Amino acid sequence: MREITIATYNIRHGHDVGFDWKKIAGIVHRSGADIVGFQEIDMHTNRVSGRDTVKGLSEAIGFPYAVFVPSMDFDGGRYGTAMLSRFPITACEIHPLDAGKYEPRAFGCVRVSLVEEKELCFLNTHLSYESAEQQRIQFAELAAFMDKQIPQKMPVVLTGDFNTEDFSMFHPLRTLGYDLVNDREHTYQTFRTEPLAIDNIVYRSAYMTPQDHGMIDSDTSDHNLLWCSFRLS
């Protein structure tokens, strides 16, 4: 496999589509994504009437491999993020992020087995919105993990709702050789309610080259899906 498409999508727990996962699946299919990082995922909460959101998304999209990354107990269930893939997920790690006095946060890291014996390391997260200083701490934690815990000669992608459009916040990752899809040159205002460029796809530029990217404007959430197709080297 030489090309792969990655997407990130904050779905506001499915509220805007009345928990009809087929509508979310339609947006994913329009993007052509092979792997998606989702944010604001409810699992078995009262807010979603006890639904298994990850299973519902997996079945609707047709991606058989899925991981839920809990950040906290919430409303009779758990709340966090998820990663779905059409390719096998062979390993998974879940790590908390330092959220200080604010809402708990975490990130997930999975190995995805592609064809031709290639592997991709895929991470997904949702950073704190309450404090820029807390975000700096979380960016530093992500950078430390990606620097020390991921093999140097592996394609890596980090997706997420980073809750900032200050692209300088990504500096700890840029110094490690990572680049951004959503940046000053190509800015996508992914947050719909008050247009903000807060969702992003971060990639290890030595092993991945963007071929095309875009945003799907849709009322299926208060965020738009951001996607990018990459050529792997």
Tokens of 84: 């779905």
Q: Which of 69, 40, 5, 75 lies closest to 199 in space, CA to CA? A: 40
Q: What's the average model confidence in pLDDT over 70-99?
A: 98
Q: Is the model's pLDDT at 116 over the cut of 80?
A: no
Residue 15's alpha-carbon distances to 10, 128, 139, 143, 195, in angstroms, are 11, 21, 29, 32, 19
Q: Are strands 199-204 and 178-180 parallel, antiparallel or unpaired?
A: antiparallel
What pLDDT, on the 0 to 100 scale, is given for residue 115?
Answer: 82
Number of domains in the chain: 1
CATH of the domain at 188: 3.60.10.10
Identify which has the larger pLDDT, 118 or 143. 143
What pLDDT, on the 0 to 100 scale, is given for residue 117?
Answer: 72
Rounded Cα gap, residues 190 and 69, in angstroms: 22
Rounded Cα gap, residues 118 and 155, in angstroms: 9
Pair 56, 21: CB distance under 8 Å: yes
Range of the domain at 8: 3-232
Output the pTM of the full model: 0.97
DSSP string, 66-106: EEEEEEEEETTEEEEEEEEESS-EEEEEEEEE--TTSS-EE
At 2, the pLDDT band (50, 70, 90 cuts) reads: confident
At 1, the pLDDT band (50, 70, 90 cuts) reads: low
Q: How many percent of the chain have pLDDT more than 90?
A: 97
Q: 181: helix, coil or strand? A: coil
Tokens of 172: 């700890």
Q: Is the model's pLDDT at 16 over the cut of 90?
A: yes
Q: What's the average model confidence in pLDDT over 4-11?
A: 98
Q: Is the model's pLDDT at 100 over the cut of 70?
A: yes
pLDDT tens digits, one per residue of 31-68: 999 999 999 999 999 999 999 999 999 999 999 999 99
User: Angle of helix 53-61 relative to helix 21-31, nearest 10 degrees?
Assistant: 50
Cα angle 216, 124, 227; round to 5:
20
Q: What's the average model confidence in pLDDT over 138-150?
A: 98
Rounded Cα gap, residues 132 and 138, in angstroms: 10
Tokens of 233: 């080297």
What pLDDT, on the 0 to 100 scale, is given for residue 222?
Answer: 98
Q: 122: helix, coil or strand? A: strand
